[in-house]
Amino acid sequence: MGKVAILSNVNIDMVSKLLPNQDKVFQPQGYGNAFSLLLNENSDLAKFSASVLFFIVDITSLTASALTYEDAVSSIDEWFSDFQSCVKPKIQYFISDVSFRKEYIEDTDDLTSSRLEAYWLDNLMALIDKYTNIHRFSLTEDVNTMGKASFYSEKLWYMGKIPFSSQGCRALADHIALQLKILESTPRKVLVLDLDNTLWGGIVGELGRNGIQLSDDKIGALYRDAQRMIKQMQKHGVILAVNSKNNPEDALEVINQHPHMVLREDDFSSIKINWESKPQNMQEIACELNLGLDSFVFIDDMPAEREAVRSLLPMVEVPEFPDTVEALPEFFRQIYIKYFQKLRMTREDTEKTRLYRENAKRNILEKSLDYDSFLENLKINIERVPCDNTSEIRLEQLLQKTNQFNLTTKRYSHEDIMEMKQNNWCIYLFRASDKFGDYGIIAAVLVNTAGSCPLIDSFVMSCRVMGKQVENYLIDYVESDLLKIGYQKLIAEYIPTAKNAPVKKLYDGLGYQRIGEEETVIRYEISLADRPLRSYHIHNSSERNSL
Amino acid sequence: MKEKIIALITKTLELEAGTITENTKISEIKKWDSLMHLMILSELQSQLGINIPIEDAIEIDSVADILDFADKE
């Protein structure tokens, strides 16, 4: 865990004290002076150098002296303008939304308190749009779950300027700890689902299509709502798959034809309905989707099936199944928060299901042809795209998430990328498509041009296009571009990690000469004018040069 | 109730069982600072329903004071 500081305009010490890993939590002296602590370079907070900052804002105190909506608005404006003057790159900020402890005295139609909460939220959204390192912390979710009467405490407020009860402090600390965990863990990608008693009630093989529980009321509606939750997850980029012991005809009939099914065949990127063992099916799904099992979460109501997957495939996350049906929709929401939630979305996420479905089709084609004709047949198209505001988000994501095809595994942030652009690094981003569809932006090569000889600082490629000789083309493209600019030589590096063994010999294979070998890094060099011929099958139509 | 109150105080302060007795004074326990005192008051209210009003709460300086108050209720 990185170092974290919890700041507030009220006494928040108790929340800080309740967090795990106390040695990495800033222990503030006093409260209410968060901004001066932030701005003063000699403050305890500055010396502590936190990498994550939480701002828990008590709107009641912030606007305490305001008598009108306009007065309160100017207090909020002032807070946001103060905050913006403190924002630094390389720190992740979580800013709370707000909830009045005590609402204003108002007539039925005034809505002052609610309007101010919304005004805060609008300002926060504007900040989030502007800075990629600012995120929302949902204080209101904790307040709503617990209720104001339990979350806040008048006694503690008047005795110690702590607005929250002991329960409230604990809820906040738990929520912050969860948020930190999400920030540091790599989100999972695939949700693998059982069918009977998971997506619907009962066993379709015994009860038939009309006997299962899936409907618009009572228990059937719980399963429908659970499916709606899963559908929302899919919209947020989670890849869905089915792993079920059933007669495929029975189960597919429900999936395709049952009037209350929310999830249909097309929503699943891979479907395994058969009498094979679940671990075996799981491996086939991974193979088909070309994704590691360590990105899988498996949901099954049967303890024995969960145990089988857990013991044979320990890298798959297998959460316990809820004891009661009514817990099911919320269970899936929590699964999303715990395993899949990310801080930012790009277009590729929303299109993932399609991408992976197309990939599964490609893999079926792959089996039936010899490899060169397979690649030729794919009609792969690679296009360089400019590094602009839209593609930068994807670049950051590629750098953060790519583990296998990642030569140096340097996890650059958005601000780092901005700096590279300022320093005139050559940034190559590539989009790929083939006859089955568009992969989106799948690779990046970052060339540091500061030295006398350019250096490939980072080379990452999505596993979706691995094994298609795409890298040969990409390197050729970069080299010929650099040669055109006037460089004669190019340096490259491989930094081994636990996961990037697949590219260990990449530069050797591309004809680079080893010029230095240490335990942590192998350095290579190539002369740009006489590089070897490499084989690839790229059908380019619209290449855009010199961007 | 007496045992419950002592157990609650011990747990809130994260101390070993037996550290807090009905004879303990707040000043004897290093961890029992003003912040923890507020947490204990809040826990008494939410978990055991013992609501000590502010004017009484500031007078409290021992476990016995809390037990007395709980008896009165």
- Residue A410 is given by DSSP the state -
∠ CA A378-A384-A386, nearest 5°, is 145
Can you tell me the distance from the alpha carbon of A87 to that of A135, in angstroms, rounded to the nearest whole number? 12
- pLDDT, position A150: 94
- pLDDT, position A345: 46
Tell me the whole-structure pTM to 2 decimals: 0.62
Q: Which of A38, A80, A39, A45 is nearest to A62 (CA)?
A: A80
Residue range A218-237: mean pLDDT, rounded: 95
Q: Given pLDDT bands bounded at 50, 70 and 90, which one contains residue A542?
A: very low
pLDDT in tens, A279-301: 999 999 998 898 889 999 999 99
A17/B35 Cβ within 8 A: yes
Tell me what ipTM this predicted complex has: 0.88
Can you tell me the distance from the alpha carbon of A121 to that of A400, in angstroms, rounded to the nearest whole number? 28
- pLDDT, position A238: 94
Q: Which of A284-293, A371-380, A519-528 has the lowest mean pLDDT?
A: A371-380
| Residue pairs between chains A and B whose CB atoms are closer than 8 Å | 41
Give CA separation, A309 vs A145, A278, A401, in Å. 34, 7, 25
Is residue A143 pLDDT above 70, yes or no?
yes
Q: What residues of chain B have any CB closer than 8 angstroms to a CB in chain A?
A: 12, 34-35, 38-39, 41-43, 45-46, 53-54, 57-58
For the purposes of burial, counting CB atoms within 10 Å of the CB of A105, is it exposed (0-12), middle (13-18) or buried (19 or more)? exposed
DSSP element (H, E) containing A309: helix A303-312
B54/A153 Cβ within 8 A: no
To test the contact with chain B by mutation, choose from A166, A167, A169, A172 the residue with the greatest count of B C-beta atoms within 10 A, namely A166
Residue range B40-62: mean pLDDT, rounded: 91
Q: How far is A64 from chain B (nearest CA, A)?
A: 22
Is residue A491 pLDDT above 90, yes or no?
yes
For the purposes of burial, counting CB atoms within 10 Å of the CB of A370, is it exposed (0-12), middle (13-18) or buried (19 or more)? exposed
Is residue A58 pLDDT above 90, yes or no?
yes
Q: Given pLDDT bands bounded at 50, 70 and 90, which one contains residue A543?
A: very low
Can you tell me the distance from the alpha carbon of A93 to that of A80, in angstroms, rounded to the nearest whole number? 13
Q: Given pLDDT bands bounded at 50, 70 and 90, which one contains residue A354?
A: low
- pLDDT, position A129: 83
Can you tell me the distance from the alpha carbon of A75 to that of A191, in angstroms, rounded to the nearest whole number? 45
- pLDDT, position A103: 81
Which among B35, B41, B58 has CB closest to A14? B35
Count of Cβ atoms closer than 10 Å to residue A492 Cβ: 24
pLDDT in tens, A524-541: 999 998 888 888 888 874
Question: In this predicted model, which residue has the larger pLDDT, A6 or A346?
Answer: A6
Which among B38, B46, B53 has CB closest to A162? B38
Q: What is the 3-state secondary structure (H, E, C) of A161-206?
A: CCCECHHHHHHHHHHHHHHHHHHHCCCCCEEEECCECCCEECCHHH
Q: How far is B31 from chain A (nearest CA, A)?
A: 12
Can you tell me the distance from the alpha carbon of A461 to that of A502, in angstroms, rounded to the nearest whole number? 12
Q: Given pLDDT bands bounded at 50, 70 and 90, which one contains residue A544?
A: very low
Query: Residue A372 is encoded by which pair of tokens?
Result: 């060169």
Can you tell me the distance from the alpha carbon of A509 to that of A472, in angstroms, rounded to the nearest whole number? 9
Q: Given pLDDT bands bounded at 50, 70 and 90, which one contains residue A339?
A: very high
Residue range A177-197: mean pLDDT, rounded: 90
* Total number of residues shown for chain B: 73
- pLDDT, position A183: 83
pLDDT in tens, A385-394: 999 988 998 9
**Do the Cβ atoms of A360 and A285 come closer than 8 Å?**
no
pLDDT in tens, A427-461: 999 999 887 778 889 999 999 999 889 999 999 99
Q: What residue ranges in A356-452 does DSSP mark as E strands? A: 381-385, 426-434, 437-448
B54: chain A residues, CB-CB within 8 Å: 155, 158-159
- Cα A338 from chain centroid (whole Å): 11
- Residues forming a β-bridge with A446: A427, A458
- The rounded percent of chain A whose pLDDT value lies above 90 is 60
Question: In this predicted model, which residue has the larger pLDDT, A130 or A93?
Answer: A93
- pLDDT, position A546: 31
What residues contact A76, with CB distance under 8 A and at least 6 apart?
A: A62, A63, A116, A119, A120, A123
Residue range A323-338: mean pLDDT, rounded: 94
Q: How far is B35 from chain A (nearest CA, A)?
A: 7
Is residue A340 pLDDT above 60, yes or no?
yes
Single-letter code of the amino acid located at A443: A
Q: Given pLDDT bands bounded at 50, 70 and 90, which one contains residue A46?
A: confident
Is residue A275 pLDDT above 80, yes or no?
yes
Q: In B1-73, where does DSSP find H-type helix? A: 2-12, 34-48, 54-57, 63-72
Mean per-residue pLDDT over chain A, rounded: 88
